[in-house]
Amino acid sequence: MGQVPTLHKSYLIIGGGRLATHLAHYFSLLDIPYYQWTRQTEHPLSTLLNPIQKVLLAVSDDAIEPLAKSIPNKTLIHFSGVLSTKLAEGAHPLFTFGPDLYDLETYRTIPFITEKGNSPFFDHFPELPNLSYEIDSAQKPLYHAWTSMAGNFSSFLIMEYVKKIKEMNLPGSLAKPYLSQVLKNSLQSQSALTGPIARGDNQTIQKHLDVLEENFKPLYQSFVQLIREKAS
């Protein structure tokens, strides 16, 4: 659950979800003293706050402000990509946190997005080697919307794709080289789109629509329309 808090150089991580678990593991790899509190912790939260200087609110967005109001006179840091509040300063990790923990080098590469006008990232986390970048508070909802679409939407499509090819008795591992190159091309070029939509092959597009499940047809059609609008 973390080391016993020590005065002046301690963090209290509040939360028991994936982000909190990864933060705690990262701190452990760097030998940073911390304590972690969850709803299952036997000690009340109030008993852990006295020696703590910095409280990390690794909880859901809806829980951040109510929780922050209950913790006075501490440096409060949240990790929401969309929330901007005067009650706590934000440091959003631009990364995805899966069920498995990562190695130290992976954690070191995670960039953090902070808000202009807040304290520098290094002031909050002098022990961390991670890079940080600032954006305006007003930009956070748009930044996070695009981050969510790029990550969550693509993850959903990839999982569905792997499931479908497995149903066709193809190994799911076939997806890796294809999707790895798709990602590489997309990051390197603004003209990475290929296939029937990019070529304007309407007959093939219609064949796709003929066989897709009903709930996926509107999604496919929306992407076709959006890609065509962007290309025009």
CATH (domain of 123) = 3.40.50.720
In a 10 Å sphere around its CB, with 0-12 CB exposed, 13-18 middle and 19+ buried, how is residue 205 labelled?
Answer: middle
User: Could you tell me the pTM of the whole model?
Assistant: 0.87
* Same domain as 106, residue 15: yes
Which CATH number goes with the domain that contains 150? 1.10.1040.20
User: What token pair was written down for 181?
Assistant: 């190159």
For residue 156, what are the domain limits? Answer: 142-231
Q: At what angle do helices 202-211 and 217-231 cross, to 10 degrees?
A: 160
Residue 220 belongs to some domain of the structure: yes
Average pLDDT of span 216-228 = 92
Q: Decide if pLDDT at 47 tops 80.
A: yes
* Same domain as 149, residue 60: no
Strand partners, 34: 11
Model confidence at 198, pLDDT cuts 50, 70, 90, reads confident
Q: pLDDT tens digits for 87-105?
A: 999 999 999 999 999 999 9
How many domains, the chain? Answer: 2
Q: Where a domain ends, among 135, 164, 182?
A: 135
* Same domain as 183, residue 121: no
What residues contact residue 37 under an 8 Å CB cut-off, 6+ apart? 12, 13, 14, 43, 45, 48
pLDDT for 41 equals 87
